[in-house]
Chain A
Amino acid sequence: MNLVRNHVLISIDAGTIMAGAKGVEKALVDEINKQGLSGEIAVLETGSIGATGQGVVIVVYPEGLYYANVNPEDAKEIVEEHLLKGRPVKRLIMTEMPRQQVIRKEKTGLLKEQARIVLKNSGIINPENIDEYIAAGGYEAIERAFTELKPEGVIREVKESGLVGRGGAAFTTAMKWEFASRAPGQPKYIICNADEGEPGTFKDRLILEGDPHKLIEGMMLAAYAFGGSKGFIYIRGEYALSIERLEKAIQQAREYGILGDNILESGFNFDLAVMKGAGAYVCGEETALIESLEGKRGHPRNKPPYPVTEGLWGKPTVVNNVETLANVPEIVRHGAAWYRGYGTDKCPGTKVYTIIGNVATPGLIEAEMGTTLRDIIYDYAGGIKAGKHFKGALVGGAAGAFLGPEMLDVQMDFINLKEYAAVLGSGAILVMDERTDIVDMLQSVLHFFKHESCGHCVPCRLGTKQLVEIIDRIALGKGKTGDIEKMVKISEVMRDTSFCPLGQSLNLPISSSLKYFKDEVYGRVPATV
């Protein structure tokens, strides 16, 4: 057997495929074969490495050298110069490097440990090969759960870790599991909410594409903890590559006896199915999602009863977000104390952010809880685009809050932001420079909500429509005196009376835009100036 001396990793995700990654891969393999290096150099597919907009990206190990914007024509040069003669191709070396480590909140520059938690394997292992996941410590957690912790131990560990849901509501994960474990009724279900529909958010997609086995292990651990036996992954129909990789991963896990009956001789039975969503924002709400899984219109249900007691088909059901579940294997493997070493006291761990808009290098980042907006924007994302200045950011997705420059140094975690009437939400950060028009942004957000309101309850159905009428008027410069107050009033009524979080959360973008950009918004209504 030949010893492989170089590994060439090629990032295959929706963005790089678009840039022609498959063609580059083929050209590299062809060239390597032509040079007779096939035994020495391995070309591997991996998930996203967290850099977007840089074309096809490859990494050459052991040097760990990144090349960006690679074209098939470059393959010859890379193979001949770098792989054969050891001379890196300077013109292709990536200049904007993605961070491979968790950004420490202290920003000391001294990294205690270069490890990501959720994105640990993304862009490093081949997501289509279960052996690579196992080699990276995968499925160790489930072993520890079976042999050492037992279900109560898993719940205890996750409870002590302080993990809260990463989908936006920040509910204590272990508490959900505990409720479901106590609830009578069999079978019990675990659902992974992968219906990522929040505008500006694509973190779940990159986890699914980059490390699908981590999600499978997370779901297994959850189900084992509360006594579940069947899992569903409810995923956006548009995420074709994620679906393909998940299905492949599930199949491999079945072949290895990691899914199915009597897993690893533990007596635990568990299997998984992937279910395609059909495009409805409201299905991110857990009861609406359950309705949709049952084949119906995705209208939210009355609560209580909560899904943990009466969920899918009336049985106890836990619904967790992709990112939440991806945290679980690492917590169980390394223990709660290790996990608490990251983040803040009240909010341990990390958060995956998608950072987009007018920044130099948009992309995906995993940062410790408590990292400030300033560090994320200027440290990771390369700051604001050349020559422009930070005006504000929309944090937490469309249902999030606009934040002004005065919020740049606030520590961001689920609890701390609440004090400032802001939310972390799904972790989308849309950065705006001075060219961005706040009214225009607000108009886009309100149109989105009008479109996605499911029509089930009156405040949301009519409220979103009225809000759109008012903001359209203001945007055209035809706003009337009292229009802005009316918008606030309507959104308050919606906050207090809407049936589900969709209608309830609209007050946030409206009130926050007025909090930080009052003059600008009022300046657009002629009569009030």
Chain B
Amino acid sequence: MSEEKQCQCAEVQEEELYPRLEEVINQHKCKGEDLIMVLHKAQNLFGYLPRRVQEMVAEGLNVSLNEVYGVITFYNFFSTVPQGRNSVKVCLGTACYVRGSQEVLDKAQRELGIKVGGTTEDRRYSLDVVRCIGACGLAPAMLVNEDVYGRVKSPHLVDILKKYE
């Protein structure tokens, strides 16, 4: 029951975002070249890019839906599935990898009970890998939202994750 409520709540919120998306699109009307920029802004609003958003962007910028979808799936940054409130990204770049980031990732998967690319049921966390965030001196590194954590050891992981509601 409570789950259902939560769902509705999320939906209502999402509904409220569409007029704001409309505004963003209007600033870039028929400018196909601004597609990536608009998608950045749209994902900032929604946290992901559902089909309806894609359709609106396609129409507003006068590009085909196919093209919009093509761009979204090409770049790592964009997602078509809802993301958790907190995005956890473990770096698997070469420097982090030699310092044991695979272990950190395995631990994160076990702890959260999701695979890479997944979101926990309560939408608290999404888990992803990145290839180098430029924090190689602090390897192994991970990102939670905008915060960088360096020298992460698997035992620290739980404490780090707990900080994010």
Q: Which residues from chain A sit less than 8 Å from chain B, CB to CB?
A: 14-15, 18, 52-53, 196-202, 205, 237-240, 275-281, 292-298, 354, 356-358, 362-363, 394, 398, 428, 430, 432, 436, 440-441, 444-445, 447-448, 451-452, 454
User: 28 A–B contact pairs at CB < 8 A?
Assistant: A18-B147, A53-B151, A197-B132, A199-B93, A199-B95, A201-B134, A202-B134, A237-B40, A238-B133, A238-B134, A279-B75, A279-B76, A279-B77, A280-B75, A292-B36, A293-B33, A297-B70, A298-B74, A354-B136, A356-B95, A356-B137, A357-B98, A440-B98, A444-B98, A445-B94, A447-B92, A448-B131, A452-B131
Across the two chains, which residue of chain A brings its CB closest to B75?
A: A278
| Cβ distance A380 to chain B, nearest Cβ, rounded Å | 13
Known: A18-B149, A53-B138, A199-B131. A278 touches B40 (CB 8 A): yes
Contact partner of B134 (CB less than 8 A), chosen from A14, A293, A394, is A14
Q: Which of A197, A356, A398, A447 contacts B136 (CB 8 A)?
A: A356
* B60-77 vs A, Cβ < 8 Å mask (1 yes, 0 no): 000100010011001111
Cβ–Cβ < 8 Å partners of A440 in chain B: 97-98
Interface size class of B (residues with CB under 8 A): 35 or more
Contact partner, B131, options A15, A296, A451, Cβ 8 Å: A451
Which of A200, A357, A394 has the most B CB atoms < 10 Å from its CB?
Answer: A200
What is the distance, in angstroms, from B31's C-beta to the closest C-beta of chain A?
8
Closest to A400 in B: B94
Give the chain B neighbours of A280 by CB distance below 8 A: 74-76
Q: Are B78 and A199 in contact (CB under 8 A)?
A: no
Residue pair B37, A275 in contact (C-beta under 8 Å): yes
Known interface pairs A52-B137, A363-B137; A200-B94 also in contact (CB < 8 Å): yes
Contact pattern, B 129-152, Cβ under 8 Å of A = 1, otherwise 0 = 011111111110000001111110
Contact partner of A200 among B63, B75, B132, CB < 8 A? Answer: B132
| Interface membership of B32, Cβ < 8 A | yes
With a cutoff of 8 Å between Cβ atoms, the chain A residues found around residue B39 in the complex are 278
Complex Cα–Cα for A197 and B35 (A)? 22
Which chain B residue has the least Cβ–Cβ distance from A298? B74
**B148-A278 in contact (CB<8A):** no
Asked if B136 contacts A362 (CB within 8 A), the reply is: yes
B94 touches A295 (CB 8 A): no
What residues on B are CB-neighbors of A15 within 8 Å?
A: 135, 137-138, 148, 150
Q: Which residues of B lie under 8 Å from residue A447 when comparing CB positions?
A: 92
Give the Cβ gap from A191 to chain B, nearest Cβ, in Å: 14
B115 to chain A, nearest CB (A): 15
